[in-house]
Amino acid sequence: MPKLNEQKNIGMSQRVMGLPPFIVMDVMERSAELEMQGCHIIHLEVGEPDFDTPPCIIEAAERAMRDGETHYTHSLGLLPLREAICRHYHRQYGVTITPDRVGVTMGSSPAFLLVLGALVNPGDEVILSDPHYSCYPNYLRFLEGKSVFVNVHEEDGFQYRPEEILPRINPSTRAVIINSPANPTGNLLSSERMAHIANLGPMIISDEIYHGLVYEGREHSILEFTDRAFIINGFSKAFAMTGWRLGYIIMPEEFKRPIQKMLQNFFISPNAFVQRAGITALDECEADVERMRSIYDQRRKLMISRLKEMGFGITVEPTGAFYVLASARRFTDDSYRLAFDILENAHVGVAPGIDFGQNAEGYLRFSYATSLENIEEGMGRIRAYLQKQFP
């Protein structure tokens, strides 16, 4: 089992030395080692669709490559893709965006670095929920900003309480990050709370990467409530395009040129043929997304049922993304050790709650981005492990 805070100082920058691991990746890499030894691992730790990319998207990329679209594009991305993103947001949320406010990126992770790089000076603060996506505070740490955490609670569906954000706001606050549907919880932020947060004062950074994967109710974009916001979204999750590395930013007017300059300097442009595939995804793949969404919903219901039967705590059932953050405090408060013990002894990969913040300690995150058969097998193995370890 890797050591959580293992570091060696060999003259690297403090920016790198202070960066903690992404523990889910540690679980995946240990899983790969066990698989090399002949073990059959059930992967419930990874947040990656198990579906292949829809054929029409692949065909669009092939067509673009054959047509010679293998060169640099505009630094903000192809205009037809930016126009398709604007149409998508108008169709889904009734908001009007102009293409010059859209910047196409190589996945949503670089988009976060660009947005925070445009907003945050050393010492500036950004408000995050706890639990949160593992990498949010690491982006800030890398940029010498400061994460300010607001606890969100299981009994409240892990939603922000706007009245608990307000006392954290001060002159150093640059933004509030929201994520709905959320990783790691799978829960949504209500439109009422979203509207309240939009009016608190700071800029909002809304991670909307799991939009399109909602099984009860519907998701909202922060742009329905304010223009003082950055949207970070992409194609990886809803369109099963993780390996294509295609994302985008929707930005306020005053940030267009600063972010364009960063794109020019640091990335030049996204892949041309991948952008063409993105246009097809937005304009032609609604039925494919719905098919995948329906299957995820079946998996969600099965996983929640099995976890509850085993004694994991799920007070408010998640209705989005493809995660369940379940309390394991009946068994232990050390989620890191429990996750690796399940991996070593039951050969099931799960994500420890501590990867997502101190307030998620004692929880495990389970991903249902895998087949019903794998979920059944994984749940059976975990049940046998718990019966042996916690009779």
* pTM reported for the whole predicted model: 0.93
CB atoms within 10 A of CB 88: 17
Mean pLDDT for the stretch of residues 355-368? 97
Give the pLDDT score at 12. Answer: 76
Rounded Cα distance between 350 and 371, Å, is 15
* pLDDT tens digits, one per residue of 165-203: 999 999 999 999 999 999 999 999 999 999 999 999 999
Give the pLDDT score at 310. Answer: 96
The CATH number of 14-52+288-389, from 3.40.50.2000, 3.90.1150.10, 2.60.40.10, 3.40.640.10, is 3.90.1150.10
* pLDDT tens digits, one per residue of 266-289: 999 999 999 999 999 999 999 999
What's the CATH fold of domain 68-284?
Answer: Aspartate Aminotransferase; domain 2 (3.40.640)
* pLDDT tens digits, one per residue of 200-234: 999 999 999 999 999 999 999 999 999 999 999 99
Identify whether the C-beta of residue 269 lies closer than 8 Å to the C-beta of residue 248: no
Burial status of residue 168 (CB atoms within 10 A of its CB: 0-12, 13-18, 19 or more): middle
More confident residue, 65 or 13: 65
Short-list 375, 319, 364, 312, CA closest to 342: 364
Least confident of 9-13, 72-76, 85-89, 351-355: 9-13
Q: Where are the domains of the chain?
A: 14-52+288-389, 68-284
Give the pLDDT score at 9. Answer: 54
Chain-centre distance for alpha carbon 78: 25
- The single-letter code of the amino acid at 57 is I
